[in-house]
Amino acid sequence: MIEEKLKKTSLLLDQPIKNYIDGSDVLYKAALHLPSHGGKRLRPFLVIKSCEIVGGDTNYVIPAAIAVELLHNFTLIHDDIMDNDLLRRGVPTVHTIWGIPMGILAGDLLFAKAFHILLSMKGDYERLIRAAEIMAKATIIISEGQSMDMSFEKRNDVSEEEYMTMIYKKTGALFEASAKIGAILGGGSEEMIECLGNYGKNLGIGFQIFDDYLGLVSKEEILGKPIGSDIREGKKTIFIIKLLNSSSRDKVINILGKKDISNEDIASIIYYIKNEKIDEYVLNKAKLHIDLAISSLSIFPNSEAKNDLIELAKYAISRLK
């Protein structure tokens, strides 16, 4: 049900995105590559539903919804260069096809387009400025999150608190901003904006923790990459951080430090994770944030939009990928 609604919103945005990123230069082709390969488009859904729940005009906020989606795609294109990732959404990444210089530039163009689209909206200028300021602030926070994430790869002493800050910055901040932008442009009250921001933030955090979880417990066919790829790539997922802060630290630290981690190594890391019951801990932590997200909606009376946001939160920790 909620998946159908997500799909419907996503389809609705396909053509407008193509119209916004329209140019004959190869730059436009490169910039449109990732957005035209879909993705779940959760952030624009959040903008639209947050507008709807405060009683705003959902058609009016479509440009803002597209703006946050393009902003998200810009960060993905640049992240893929930084992390040297070759595939995303089942297709080669932008820099893999067009090279790093064009990848950088395509990201920059989407970033600029995101602001241009949002700022070209008419309406209450004070609310528009506030929405754009929130989007700019979120981008600053996302950059800080990516920097933290990169620095974690070289460290074995990352705390759970640092991990939580990092995923708030990398994922929570733009979910939070999306919900706030929808609420602001929909004419919501300060209390509504605040509560929806809280909803978005906790949804993003729960979503990201569950993403780590899927990387360990999902199936290779669904994930599109082998189970434990995160471990092999040296990513500091919450599993690894908890494991390094557990009594199994001494047993795993040498394995994690290897240049080439074998399948047997991955299997033994997963054994220790399960032995320490870290998988249960992580799933509960994701659930906690989803519960926090849902309870942030308590000020709103029942409505279809409220129901959709609740379903979206539940979906975030039940999806297979």
Instruction: Check residue 178 for interaction with a copy of itself (CB under 8 A).
Output: no
Compute how many residues bind a copy of itself; rule: CB under 8 A. Answer: 41
What lies within 8 Å, CB to CB, of 233 at 6+ separation is none
Closest to 112 (Cα-Cα) out of 20, 176, 42: 20
Q: Which of 9, 146, 171, 237 binds a copy of itself (CB under 8 A)?
A: 146
* 9 vs 139 by CB, closer to a copy of itself: 139
- If binding is defined by CB under 8 A, does position 82 make contact with a copy of itself? yes
Least distance between a copy of itself and beta carbon 186 (Å): 18
- Of residues 88-107, which lie at the interface with a copy of itself (CB under 8 A)? 100-102, 104-105, 107
User: Does residue 320 touch a copy of itself according to CB under 8 A?
Assistant: no
Closer residue to a copy of itself (CB): 82 or 87: 82
Give the C-alpha separation, 53 to 38, whole Å: 25
Residues 6+ apart with CB under 8 A from 116: none
Is there binding between residue 60 and a copy of itself (CB under 8 A)? no
User: Is 143 a residue that touches a copy of itself (CB under 8 A)?
Assistant: yes
Amino acid letter at 125?
Y
Binds a copy of itself (CB under 8 A): choice among 7, 8, 18, 23: 23
Q: Could you say whether residue 173 binds a copy of itself (CB under 8 A)?
A: no
DSSP state of 87: E
Residue 129 binding a copy of itself, by CB under 8 A: yes
- Beta bridge partner(s), residue 87: 92
Residue 61 interacts with a copy of itself (CB under 8 A)?
A: no
* 3 state SS of 107: helix
Rounded to an integer, what distance in angstroms lies between the CA atom of residue 206 and that of residue 142?
17
81 binds a copy of itself (CB under 8 A): yes
Residue 70: partners with Cβ closer than 8 Å, 6 or more residues away = 17, 20, 21, 35, 110, 111, 113, 114, 117
Q: Which is nearer to a copy of itself, 147 or 295 (CB)?
A: 147
- Percentage helix, strand, coil for the chain under 3-state DSSP, each rounded to 5: 75, 0, 25
- 26 part of the interface to a copy of itself, by CB under 8 A: yes
The whole-angstrom distance between residue 245's C-alpha and the CA centroid of its chain comes to: 26
Q: Which residues bind a copy of itself (CB under 8 A)?
A: 23, 25-27, 78, 81-83, 100-102, 104-105, 107-109, 111-113, 115-116, 119-120, 125-126, 128-129, 132-133, 135-137, 139-140, 143-144, 146-148, 150-151
